[in-house]
Amino acid sequence: MKKRVLVTGGAGFIGSHLCEYLLSKGHEVFCLDNFFTGSKENIIHLKSEKYFEIIRHDIINPFHIETDEIYNLACPASPQHYQYNPIKTMKTSVIGSINMLGLAKRVNAKILQASTSEVYGDPKMHPQSEEYWGNVNPIGKRSCYDVGKRASETLCMDYHRQNNVHIKIVRIFNTYEPRMMPNDGRVVSNFILQALQDKDITVFGDGKQTRSFQYVDDLIIGLYKMMNTSNSIIGPINIGNTEEFTILELAVKIIELTNSKSKIIHLPLPEDDPLRRKPNIDLAKETLNWKPITKLEEGLIKTINYFDKCIKNNRDYSTLNKFN
């Protein structure tokens, strides 16, 4: 059945892939974005689609539309971007979520809130399961994002309990793919661009901190499966890859795959940078019949090939940001 689906943050690297996937499933898609971190290049190829519409809008302002489902992905997600204007980041998570939940309430739509593994902070439980409450600094530089996303989950639960809004909460773990903004400070894009240009690979701290990287295709399927569960399934549910790598291992792997002459150098670790990050996805396996299938090397090769083409087309990636 064709549905009218609103995707906030639809021009971002995750949102744009979700828009494509929803269109492939035969739905009518409304892509809402203020283009702060999203890019028209990510969605320009969809403009000719009959059932696709692009709307420039910031969700901290109310928005009205008739829709069956809402995927609320809008929020800067890289350290550079969410720390650039931390108050705006918090507004997006709190006021933006209130606006989208209010819309869902008015039109009786299901809403999926894209939360994050950052709600676990620097976790003392490993791997992280959904019942873990986390270890988050409420007054640090990352708090605008970490605490903001925790607040958006709280709002979802309160709208569900008080107003019977049909909610879904997904906690997304580190995701990568070719449409990542090259200078947004994420470790995968930073390392790839540095390696392709034979520049020093900047590893923060001793590089022994771990992450679990999932390719975007796996995430999109998880989001879609979650939205299409019964109303009794609300989450939160972790969506991520359980293959854990140190940052140093990632750097070595990217140097190997790019045949780079880059050297690895070490810089001070950013404030509140989590030491370990790996999801427990038992709930996703049981509830959604979902698990990631893309191996790290396979996804890295696709991402490397994309950025290599961009560099050969003379896109300027000379300035990289200092965040892992």
pLDDT digits (tens, 9 = 90+) for 269-285: 887 778 888 999 999 99
- Name the band, by pLDDT with cuts 50, 70 and 90, for residue 177: confident
Distance CA 183, CA 176 (A): 13
Indicate the residue type of 200.
D
At 302, list the tokens: 């696709």
pLDDT in tens, 29-45: 999 999 988 889 899 99
Distance CA 56, CA 108 (A): 23
Mean pLDDT of 77-87: 80
Residue 223 CB-half CA count within 13 A: 28
Which one from 120, 145, 159, 176 is the annotated catalytic residue?
Answer: 145
Residue ranges covered by each domain of the chain: 4-175+216-239, 177-212+242-277+294-312
Q: Please report the pLDDT score of residue 152 as a whole number.
A: 98
Residue corresponding to tokens 């509140």: 272
pLDDT in tens, 40-69: 989 999 999 999 999 999 999 999 999 999
* 3 state SS for 140-181: CCCHHHHHHHHHHHHHHHHHHHHHCCCEEEEEECCEECCCCC
145 tagged catalytic: yes
pTM of the complete model beyond 0.85: yes
- Gap between the terminal Cα atoms of the chain: 42
Q: Please report the pLDDT score of residue 314 as a whole number.
A: 67
| Whether residue 226 has pLDDT greater than 50 | yes
Axis-axis angle for helices 86-107, 143-163 (nearest 10): 20
Q: Residue 18: phi, psi to the nearest 5?
A: -65, -40
Class of domain 177-212+242-277+294-312: alpha beta
Mean pLDDT of 66-89: 88
The answer to whether the CB of 48 falls within 8 A of the CB of 89 is no
Tell which residue, 36, 26, 80, 24, has the closest CA to residue 60.
Answer: 36
Q: Over pLDDT 70: what percentage of the chain?
A: 95
The answer to whether the CB of 136 falls within 8 A of the CB of 146 is yes
Q: Does residue 106 or residue 306 have the better pLDDT?
A: 106
CATH superfamily of 4-175+216-239: NAD(P)-binding Rossmann-like Domain (3.40.50.720)
